[in-house]
């Protein structure tokens, strides 16, 4: 195989994949910001207009699910294939997870998604379900007496938040600051990445192109 030129580009993410990513990014950051305003006492003074922040928070949640449904109905088979790709961890993926902890020896060869990205996607998907279930309960308890009672919906929603924050900060660091990985942001925005970068980070995928 010829050495890749620095400018040769390969397509990593499809329009549907990028749409789903940015739908989640936009709605999640909106919910995080408005949620912190509603929760943190240091920001509570801003929250005097609680209803406005609540409406934005709930609107973003609704927007996420409506957007997800719309994407699934327009690009369902393709996104399901992506989900299968994220779901399956081969031997190299499991080696990669161990390698990511001790960092000894060569990085096990990875496909289009590395094992860390796969794990992150699965945890984030789980958190979206947990956020939605606990959030719906909190909403019902506020609006109807029938749903009140001993509950830990607020606690579960809080814990999901404190788990999400380090995940999102780590994600932002790798995507925008960390020198060797930040090129992947280009793939998420424009769809394409440099072939030489792909060969270094995702060789099992790059050699299939």
Partner 1 sequence: MSEIRLGRRAFLSVVGLGAVGLLAGGRLSGAAAPLGRLVPDGVGNLVSAGGWRIYAISPPWPSFDPASWRLEVTGEVEQPVKLTYDQLLALPSQRQTSDFHCVTGWTVGDVRWEGVRLAELWDRVQPKPTARYANFVSMEHPYVDTLTMEQTTLSGVMLGHRMDGKPLSQSHGAPVRLVIPEIYGYKNVKWLTRIELTRELRPGYWELNGYDVDAWVGRSNGY
Which residues lie near partner 1 (CB under 8 A)?
A: 39-42, 44-45, 47-50, 83, 86-91, 93-94, 118-119, 121-123, 125-127, 129-130, 133-134, 137-138, 141-142, 144-156, 159-160
Nearer to partner 1, 13 or 197 (CB): 13
**In sequence order, which residues have a C-beta less than 8 Å from that of residue 148 and are 6 or more positions away?**
141
Q: Determine the 3-state secondary structure of 194 from DSSP.
A: strand
Give yes or no for a contact between 68 and 23, defined as CB atoms under 8 angstroms apart. yes
Give yes or no for a contact between 46 and 38, defined as CB atoms under 8 angstroms apart. no
In angstroms, give the least distance from the CB of 10 to partner 1.
24
Alpha-carbon span 84 to 24, nearest angstrom: 19
In angstroms, give the least distance from the CB of 194 to partner 1.
27
Give yes or no for a contact between 93 and 115, defined as CB atoms under 8 angstroms apart. yes
Strands (E), 91-206: 192-194
Q: Determine the 3-state secondary structure of 10 from DSSP.
A: strand
Nearer to partner 1, 8 or 142 (CB): 142
Residue 11's DSSP bridge partners are 192
Residue in 134, 129, 176 with CA at minimum distance from that of residue 151: 134
Nearer to partner 1, 27 or 120 (CB): 120
Number of other CB atoms surrounding residue 20 within 10 Å: 19
In angstroms, give the least distance from the CB of 3 to partner 1.
28
Nearer to partner 1, 120 or 195 (CB): 120
In angstroms, give the least distance from the CB of 4 to partner 1.
26
Angle at 59 between CA 57 and CA 61, to 5 degrees: 70
Nearer to partner 1, 127 or 185 (CB): 127
In angstroms, give the least distance from the CB of 84 to partner 1.
9
In angstroms, give the least distance from the CB of 9 to partner 1.
28
Nearer to partner 1, 91 or 106 (CB): 91
């Amino acid at each position: 195989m010829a050495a890749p030129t620095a400018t040769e580009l390969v397509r990593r993410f499809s329009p549907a994949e990028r749409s789903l990513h940015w739908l989640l990014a936009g709605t999640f950051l909106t919910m995080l910001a408005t949620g912190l305003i509603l929760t943190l006492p240091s920001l509570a003074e801003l929250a005097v207009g609680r209803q406005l922040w609540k409406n934005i928070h709930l609107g973003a949640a609704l927007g996420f699910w409506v957007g997800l449904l719309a994407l699934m109905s327009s690009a369902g088979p393709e996104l399901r294939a992506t989900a299968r790709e994220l779901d399956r961890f081969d031997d190299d993926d499991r080696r990669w997870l161990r390698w990511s902890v001790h960092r000894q020896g060569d990085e096990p060869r990875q496909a289009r998604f590395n094992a860390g990205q796969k794990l992150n996607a699965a945890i984030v998907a789980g958190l979206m379900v947990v956020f939605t279930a606990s959030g719906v309960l909190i909403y019902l308890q506020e609006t109807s007496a029938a749903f009140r009672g001993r509950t830990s919906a607020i606690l579960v929603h809080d814990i999901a938040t404190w788990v999400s924050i380090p995940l999102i900060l780590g994600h932002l660091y790798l995507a925008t600051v960390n020198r060797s990985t930040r090129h992947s942001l280009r793939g998420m925005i424009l769809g394409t990445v440099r072939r030489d970068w792909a060969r270094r980070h995702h060789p099992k995928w790059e050699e299939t192109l």
